[in-house]
Amino acid sequence: MKMAVLGVSKEIEKEAEKTRQNILVVISEGEDSRKVFDAAVQMVKETGGKIILAALIDKNIKPPFEFNKFVANERINAEPAYVYKMMYGEQLLRPFEEVLIKEGIEYEKIIEPENTMKRIASLAEYVSPARIVIGLNELRKTTKGIFRSQRKFMEKISCPLTIIP
């Protein structure tokens, strides 16, 4: 259903319509990610828009000892744990990116070094997706299995949350 807004130019209206079609897909190292991704691809094919791949990296992902030497030798001006999580996220998203490129689906990617509902809510506020697609196990992990304590972050999400079992 198209919606017209008075006093808004056609360009702004088209851009707003395109933004509403973005789907934020929460990807993690769990097995659910493939099902979540496949569901999001199907949604984008039906409605248009693009996929925003969000890799959320668990706090227990830590670099091997040798990685600290690598960061120092390469003179990377960042915390080794952060650099490792960014590289880990790139590796995690690569197979999904390959599918999107092959299918010709527009996408963006975001790597978050923290896997919490607070980060998901912040991402949703930042990218303003039409919906968020997340796996049930990932949702349990981000909310620490307790929705009540994460309620303040869940309430900040202003789009539908599609949970894939």
pLDDT tens string 60-107? 888 988 888 888 888 888 888 999 999 999 999 999 999 999 999 999
Q: Is the pLDDT of residue 7 over 70?
A: no
SS3 151: helix
Helix (H) or strand (E) run with residue 74 in it: none
**What's at 16, amino acid-wise?**
A
Residues 136, 164: contact at Cβ < 8 Å?
yes
pLDDT value, residue 36: 95
Q: What is the pTM of this model?
A: 0.79
In whole angstroms, what is the distance from residue 53 CA to residue 32 CA? 14
pLDDT value, residue 15: 53
pLDDT tens string 142-164? 776 555 555 666 667 878 888 88
Residue reference for tokens 């299995």: 145
CB-based burial, 9-46: b 16+ in 10 Å, e otherwise: eeeeeeeeeeeebbbbbbbbbeebbeebbebbbebbee
pLDDT value, residue 58: 86
Q: What is the pLDDT averaged over residues 130-146?
A: 80
pLDDT tens string 18-37? 544 899 999 988 778 999 99
Q: Is the pLDDT of residue 55 over 70?
A: yes
Report CA torsion sign: 34, 39, 44, 50. Answer: negative
Give the architecture (CATH level 2) of 22-164: 3-Layer(aba) Sandwich (3.40)
pLDDT tens string 88-99? 999 999 999 999
Angle of helix 65-73 versus helix 80-103 axis, rounded to 10 = 90
pLDDT value, residue 21: 80
Phi/psi at 17 (5° precision): -65, -40
